[in-house]
């Protein structure tokens, strides 16, 4: 029992350490954003109005809901409700897919209007708007990769739950997956107002 406890403690510590490095990564991008915003406040506001706030709002609701479902999955496995745990994990994965599909259509529309890094149209709009969209595509793209990784991780853990390898007595993998997912959601909570709600 003590060996298992040490293993779980180590796994939790490792995940928190990893999440700390992720926070540093996104914090660096937020600092770059703040510097650029201070330099081009009016152009950032103009660029923000070119984004589709409906896509951003829907994806915010999707991710907030997914945070709830993965949190409920942990509660379910603690109560040894395996079927309910799997259902909640699957809902979380589906919501991750919905987020990525929404982002695909949003980016397709923006690219169709010539709004993408390196485009002639964007260059004509000035350095501030170009800086905004360079940061937007890079940061949102990096976040999208994290959504893909998080959804895959939850899918792997769900498969392990189905095989009885993750149980009510040992569910650290699910806990760590949920922690990662909450970080992904938290990053979006910052990204949404920074890019979509500039006045």
Other Cβ atoms closer than 10 A to 55: 17
**Confidence tier at 4 by pLDDT (50, 70, 90):** very low
CB 174 within 8 A of CB 80: no
| Cα distance between residue 88 and residue 66, in whole Å | 9
Per-residue pLDDT reduced to its tens digit, 105-154:
999 999 999 999 999 999 999 999 999 999 999 999 999 999 999 999 99
Per-residue pLDDT reduced to its tens digit, 43-71:
999 999 999 999 999 999 999 999 999 99
> Per-residue pLDDT for 2 more than 50?
no
> Per-residue pLDDT for 158 more than 90?
yes
- Which pLDDT does position 3 carry in this prediction? 37
| Cα distance between residue 66 and residue 29, in whole Å | 24
| Cα distance between residue 154 and residue 9, in whole Å | 20
Secondary structure of the chain: what % helix, strand, coil (to 5)? Answer: 85, 0, 15
| Cα distance between residue 19 and residue 8, in whole Å | 16
- Which pLDDT does position 177 carry in this prediction? 95
Phi-psi region of 114 (alpha: psi -120 to 50; beta: other; left: phi over 0): left
CA 62, 64, 67, 71 torsion: positive or negative? negative
- Which pLDDT does position 7 carry in this prediction? 55
Phi-psi region of 51 (alpha: psi -120 to 50; beta: other; left: phi over 0): beta
CB 143 within 8 A of CB 191: yes
User: Domains (ranges, CATH) in the chain?
Assistant: 2-196 (1.20.120.80)
**Alpha-carbon separation of residue 181 from 5, 86, 176 (angstroms):** 23, 16, 9
- Which pLDDT does position 12 carry in this prediction? 77
Per-residue pLDDT reduced to its tens digit, 10-48:
777 888 888 888 889 899 999 999 999 999 999 999 999
For residue 100, give both structure tokens.
Answer: 């990525």
Q: Taking the CA atoms of the chain, what radius of gyration do you get in angstroms?
A: 19
> Per-residue pLDDT for 163 more than 50?
yes
Largest Cα–Cα separation, the chain: 65
> Per-residue pLDDT for 1 more than 70?
no
For residue 165, give both structure tokens.
Answer: 């390898």
Lowest mean pLDDT among 17-21, 74-78, 107-111, 175-179: 17-21
């Amino acid at each position: 029992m003590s060996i298992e406890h040490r293993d779980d403690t180590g796994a939790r510590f490792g995940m928190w350490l990893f999440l700390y490095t992720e926070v540093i990564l996104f914090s660096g991008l937020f600092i770059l954003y703040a510097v650029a915003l201070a330099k081009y406040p009016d152009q950032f506001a103009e660029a923000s109005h070119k984004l589709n706030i409906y896509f951003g709002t829907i994806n915010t609701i999707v991710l907030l809901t997914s945070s709830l479902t993965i949190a409920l999955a942990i509660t379910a496995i603690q109560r040894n409700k395996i079927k309910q745990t799997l259902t909640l994990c699957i809902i979380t994965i589906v919501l991750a897919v919905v987020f990525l599909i929404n982002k695909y259509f949003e980016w397709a529309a923006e690219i169709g209007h010539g709004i993408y890094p390196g485009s002639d149209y964007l260059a004509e709009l000035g350095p501030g708007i170009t800086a905004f969209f360079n940061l937007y595509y890079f940061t949102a793209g990096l976040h999208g990769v994290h959504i893909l990784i998080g959804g895959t991780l939850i899918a792997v853990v769900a498969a392990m739950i189905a095989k009885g390898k993750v149980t009510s007595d040992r569910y650290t993998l699910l806990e760590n997956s949920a922690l990662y997912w909450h970080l992904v959601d938290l990053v979006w909570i910052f990204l949404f107002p920074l890019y979509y709600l500039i006045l």
